[in-house]
Amino acid sequence: MRRVHRPRAASAPGARGAAAAVLMLLVGTACGSRLPESDFEHDGRTNAPASSHNGAPVRIGIVTSATSPVGGNTFTGPRDGAKAWFDRLNARGGIDGHPVEVRECDDGGSGVGNNTCVHKLIDEDKVVALVATTSLDYAGASRVSHARVPDIGGQPIGAAYDTWPHLYGIYGSLAPRNGTPGWGGKLYGGTEVYRYFKREKGARTAAVVSYNQAASAAYARLVQQGLKAEGYKVVTEQVDFALPNFRAAAADLKEQGADLVFDAIDTHGNAQLCKAMDEVGAKVMAKVTNVQNWTSTVPDDYKDSPRCRNALWATGSSRDYEDTDNAAVRQFRDATKGLKTHSQWQLEGWAAAMWFTDAATSCAKANTGITRACVDDFMNRSENYTADGLLVPVAFERLAEPPKDRRTCLSVARWQDGRGWVSQGDMNSTCFDVPQLPYQP
């Protein structure tokens, strides 16, 4: 019998894919040049520092597009969450007596900058691993893989985490990861988000709003494909990228009786769309956003649209950062109480740092000490990892063929003024058997 796992595929085009698509429609990106397959045929590890004696620090790197063409602070959440974890870890003695030394690098959101960061951290700083990578253009991914440096808990903004070995995205992967994205250049993702709103909320008609721009339109077609597979009536709304008429789009989706609104537009565009929806009186069951926009800044981002704001729903693969009834979330919130804002990406960066710590702790107890090779071996064996319950169980497999269907679980929250993001059920029981649909990264 074919094994069925609960974790989500890293290539899912739903909640996570939306963030990636919106970012890429604003700035053209590439996943880096491909290395020859011979580069993956030997077992030797290069530059494999060990930190196992005399309380020597364990050095890790965090690459972030802290400054980028899509605006400041867009990518800094995972970095801030990871640093908060390591600060608390060091205050408690580090990893088996070894403090963690964090080396940061801002790649500026460019491929050139990313390659520079990768070279500096791997070849000069000789980090044991990268943690919580969040790059607009992960051009250095092939170099990281070639050096066999484990990259742990990165955000899959592009296809790198479904392309290269030794890269371990925060949501796992089923792809072969042999230097080609997914399976023969195609990624696969499920329809669980659309299934949720159909089964749990009774939605039947969904609007998809996009720009008349290639990447935006392509992602919109992907969303439409998934919605149609789940039996929705789909209403398409395309606006001009330079001079968008969101009011006309809002009026039409109201006329068409849309229950849900999905989009392939940027954060500013979403705010304008919501404002237009309030102005024309378009009431929907849910304005569905993604994990990147699952933040405490909603009141400011949507200050001009109270009705639409309170119809915001977010879906993802990690426990709601506001679910403080959960002990692991409380620890995260306590450690990050000094931050001005909170977000789901911060929590996922915290989980990524925890993942590295678990790997390094197991290595510290081994004869090899904390080395790249040992940490990588731990990660490669990861199956149903949850970061103390903060993640939907994550696994890494290398399936020769893409799955046709999969049991997939998701985390769901909705925004309510005065309460913030409110969890909707438990993510480990909000699960669906859904088809896996192909798409081009």
Q: How many CB atoms lie within 10 A of CB 104?
A: 15
Tokens in use for 206? 């969904």
Contact yes or no for 441/182 (Cβ under 8 A): yes
Between these two residues, 39 and 407, which has the higher pLDDT value?
Answer: 407
Contact 262, 314 (CB under 8 A): no
Mean pLDDT of 287-296: 93
> Alpha-carbon Rg of the chain, whole angstroms?
21
Closest CA to 280 of 323, 237, 317, 240: 237
CA 140 from chain centre, in angstroms, equals 18
Residue 170, Cβ neighbours under 10 Å: how many? 28
pLDDT confidence band for 441 (50 / 70 / 90):
confident
Span 243-265, pLDDT tens digits: 999 999 999 999 999 999 999 99
Q: What is the share, in percent, of the chain residues with pLDDT greater than 70?
A: 88
Q: What share of the chain is helix, strand, coil (3-state, %, to 5)?
A: 35, 20, 45
Q: Which pLDDT band, with edges at 50, 70 and 90, does 41 fall under?
A: very low
Take residue 83 and report the two structure tokens written for it: 């640093």
The model's pTM is 0.91
- Plot region of 94 (φ>0 → left; ψ -120 to 50 → alpha; else → beta): left
Q: Is the pLDDT of residue 27 over 60?
A: no
> 65, 52, 19: which is closest to 265 by C-alpha?
19
Q: Alpha helices, DSSP H only, in 230-266?
A: 246-255
pLDDT at 1 over 70: no
**Distance between CA 52 and CA 198 in Å, rounded?**
53
Please name the residue that has the structure tokens 């000069």: 124
Residue 304 has which token pair?
A: 């001009």
275, 386 contact by CB (below 8 A): no
- Dihedral angle over CA of 12, 14, 20, 21, nearest 10: 120
pLDDT over 50 at 43, yes or no: no
- Lowest model confidence (mean pLDDT) among 17-21, 334-338, 340-344: 17-21
Q: How far apart are CA 347 and CA 322, in angstroms?
A: 10
**CB 301, CB 276: distance < 8 Å:** no
Evaluated on CA atoms 278, 279, 281, 282, the torsion sign reads negative
pLDDT band for 266, please (50, 70, 90 cuts): confident
Query: What would the two tokens of residue 232 be?
Result: 């929705």
| Angle, CA of 267, 328 and 128, to the nearest 5° | 80
Q: Is the pLDDT of residue 7 over 60?
A: no
Q: Which residue has the tokens 């304005």?
A: 287
User: Who's near 231: CB < 8 A, 6+ residues apart?
Assistant: 198
Provide the phi-psi class of 92: left if phi over 0, else alpha when psi is between -120 and 50, else beta. alpha
Residue ranges with strand state E in 56-99: 58-64
**pLDDT tens, residue by residue, 399-414:** 999 999 999 999 999 9
